[in-house]
A and B are shown apart, each in its own frame.
Chain A
Amino acid sequence: MTWFLRNWDQVALALWEHVTISLTALTIAFALSLGIGILAARRERIYAAALAVAGFLYTIPTLAFLALLIPVVGLGRTNAIIAMVAFSLLILIRNVATGIRNVPADVVDAARGMGMSAAQILARVELPLALPVIVAGLRIAAVTVISVTVVAAYVNAGGLGTLIFNGIASDHPPKIWAGALAACALAVSVDLALATLERRLRRTRV
């Protein structure tokens, strides 16, 4: 605790790095998944193929994935972000596709009957109705990405994991405590925040 009070700026900096890396990865993963998920919602074969590939990527152990990328992209943040994007695809694509598929066919029919184009139906009917399911996916993906970022400190990506690894290397428990507890707190609070958002969205729609 005294270590934390004396070095809170160090922890805050690591936390900031952690958040920015996670957010970058999540944004890229979300943009990709939105595109793939929309296509997958329309075609069963794309859905099956996308989920098979994403499922394979998801099963690879985090550290192994980061390690396998080293010969290709070397150490650092790029490596970590590629790994995180790969890990979040499964959950995000699945939820985008499921969300769109769960929109009742009559609602889409009604929109078509009102003269909306396919693009308008997607933007103004399907995506808004799919939003709670998409946010549910984002919630799991965000927690996954935060968790991967901790490990990514080992390939020099920065973030709270740096404190943990420095603490382990120099046998300095307060540093381990600060890094690990801050990472847990970040994951839990992001999860709760997105859970609240999801609940709000479900209540206002339908």
Chain B
Amino acid sequence: MLADAWHYIATHPQQFATALGVHIAMSASALALAAAIAIPMGLVAARRAGVALAAINAANIGRTLPSLAVLALAMPILGTGFAPSLVALTLIALPPILTNTIAGLIGVEPDIVDAARGMGMTARQILRRVELPLATPVIFAGLRTAAVQVVSGAVLAAFIGGGGLGDFITAGIAMMATPLLLVGAIPVTLLSLGTDFLFGTLERRLTPRGLA
């Protein structure tokens, strides 16, 4: 079975490379978009306790929504293809990043911020040189959760014509062709584990010395 799956990849290198490329491009752009929206939102929301609480509550509700339901709802509204999948995956990635950005900033010890203010730092300097570095590990933990969710969710994009490795799985199930199904399932599992590992490593690397 594995040999058959390998044989399929060897004889259809173009198809496999395209699907893998689409999968990675879709996941990476969704994550980048979500980070570009959620991190600034988190920075603003963390300044006021009331806004922070409301944002965390909203994110918690967003987090409970089933990925497939979000992707499926994109279809009647935005149609099929890459773009609707990208929008849905971005929405899926937002909540963990937003929650962790807020949690990371709120978790910075007030004494440290006071000390920085006492040293004459401006609010901007405090944010860039004290609060953000200290919040980085928590923000990266959120990015890691989001990244794994997006890689996993991108498999489901196959249902709304988004392409990616999920195409092999759905085709394999439809034709009851196990090797074809493995051509999608094994690489996407490796991709997901690799993403988790990569972000785990980044998280450790970016933790300022003295923390952790």
Contacts and interface: CB of A to CB of B under 8 A. Distances in A.
B148 interface: yes
B64 A183 contact: no
Interface string B49-67: 0000000000011011111
B151 A150 contact: no
Residue in A59, A71, A179 whose Cβ sees the most chain B Cβ within 10 Å: A59
A164 to B, nearest CB: 5
Interface residues of A, number: 36
B159 A67 contact: no
Interface stretch (B37-45, B71-79, B129-137, B201-209): B71-79
Contacts of B65: 147, 184, 187-188
A176 B155 contact: no
A62 interface: yes
Which of B66, B152, B188, B189 has the most chain A CB atoms inside 10 A of its CB? B66
A61 B155 contact: yes
A68 to B, nearest CB: 5
Interface in A5-34: none
A53 interface: no
**Most chain B CB inside 10 Å of its own CB: which residue of A60, A67, A167, A180:** A67
A67 B152 contact: no
Interface in A110-159: 143, 146-147, 150-151, 154-155
A146 B66 contact: yes
A73 to B, nearest CB: 13
A71 B173 contact: no
B47 to A, nearest CB: 26
B181 interface: yes
- Where chain B touches its partner, the secondary structure class is helix
B75 A71 contact: no
B3 to A, nearest CB: 14
A187 B66 contact: yes
Interface residues of B, number: 39
B164 to A, nearest CB: 11
B199 to A, nearest CB: 11
Nearest to A174: B76
B131 to A, nearest CB: 28
B95 interface: no
Interface in B74-98: 75-76
A155 B68 contact: no
Contacts of A165: 159
B56 to A, nearest CB: 13
Given A67-B181, A173-B76, A176-B72, A147 B67 contact: yes
A164 B88 CA distance: 15
Contacts of A147: 64-69
Contact of B76 (A56, A176, A188): A176
Contacts of B70: 180
Given A64-B185, A70-B173, A187-B66, A151 B76 contact: no
A59 B64 CA distance: 17
Contact of A71 (B1, B63, B64, B159): B1
25 contacts: A59-B192, A61-B189, A62-B67, A67-B169, A67-B172, A68-B182, A68-B185, A68-B186, A70-B178, A143-B63, A147-B64, A147-B66, A151-B66, A151-B67, A151-B156, A155-B173, A168-B159, A168-B160, A173-B75, A177-B76, A179-B69, A181-B69, A183-B69, A188-B64, A191-B64
Given A59-B192, A183-B69, A188-B65, 8 more contacts: A65-B189, A67-B184, A147-B64, A147-B65, A164-B69, A168-B72, A180-B70, A188-B61
The 9 lowest CB-CB distance pairs between A and B, nearest first, are A61-B152, A173-B76, A147-B66, A180-B69, A64-B185, A67-B185, A187-B64, A180-B72, A183-B69
